[in-house]
Amino acid sequence: MKTFVTIPTFNESKNIEPLLREIRSQDPEINIVVADDDSPDGTWRIVEEISKRDPRVFLLRRTSNKGRGSAGVDAFRFALQKEADVVIEMDADFSHDPKHIPRFLEKIRECDLVIGSRAVSHGQDRRKSRLRKWITHFSTFYTRLILGLPVRDCNSGYRCFRREVLEAVNLDTILSTGPSIVQELLFKAHLHGFSICEIAIVFIEREAGESKLNLKRLFQGFLMILRLKVLHLLGRLKDSE
Ligand SMILES: Nc1nc2c(ncn2[C@@H]2O[C@H](COP(=O)(O)OP(=O)(O)OP(=O)(O)O)[C@@H](O)[C@H]2O)c(=O)[nH]1
Ligand SMILES: [Mg+2]
């Protein structure tokens, strides 16, 4: 099973090297794609150096069309072009522990899409901020309600896709340039009838680097979920109707 890990990054210079090391220690064969938006802190430069020593590390240095969502799409496209069978997407800030990778790869044999979930038995959200946890709870409630998703952690960006899922959702039609790509892909995979499973993860707070979440991004995410629902009701979610 040819496996790729894709990681969108922006200003993660303190995290990226130890993260790549930990992923590599999980699996010497795994391919890793970092989609960096020309980070001013030089994250891309660190990845470029590592990629010279490790032929299974790839850097996508993006200078236009920036954003968490479009970086994710570029990395998926790259993995598909390189004939990935399975793609795991994760954040760079150690909230997503690489030690869960082997369990994703086990579970993907049974399901089309596997979600690293904080909301199933043994899953945990270890962040200290009550506000951040509350936002996650509310956002999951809202997403499940509007989009009718049979998933307990709709906001998790730690996921494993079979190639067929990424092909079917048609990456050319993704609307989200920002973080709402997480919910958009989930909704489209669900509309296509793919099987979705959740495995427990322990989600920890970022220790280094700064959060990119702000009120504007949060609000844009809520609006995007409404937009996806309306387009679906109108039969205009291109790839899936
Ligand atoms: N390429 C790219 N990556 C981004 C962008 N914004 C965020 N990311 C990356 O997407 C992942 C998730 O972003 P985070 O800032 O951790 O968002 P969050 O998890 O909601 O918030 P915190 O964990 O509190 O920081 C991280 O790997 C970021 O570096 C962006 O505009 N472009
Ligand atoms: Mg984070």
State the CB neighbour count (10 A cutoff) for residue 85: 13
This model's pTM is above 0.75: yes
Please give all residues whose beta carbon lies within 6 A of any atom in ligand 1, as ranges: 8-10, 12, 35-37, 66-68, 71, 91-93, 95, 206, 211-213
| DSSP states along 71-119 | HHHHHHHHHHHTT-SEEEE--SSSSS-GGGHHHHHHHTTT-SEEEEESS
Residue 214: pLDDT band with limits 50, 70, 90: confident
Distance 63 CA to ligand 2 centre (A): 22
Q: Which of 81-85, 192-196, 204-208 has the lowest mean pLDDT?
A: 204-208
Ligand nearest to the CA of 16: 1
Helix (H, G, I), strand (E, B) or coil at 48: helix
pLDDT in tens, 113-158: 999 999 999 999 999 999 999 999 999 999 999 999 999 999 999 9
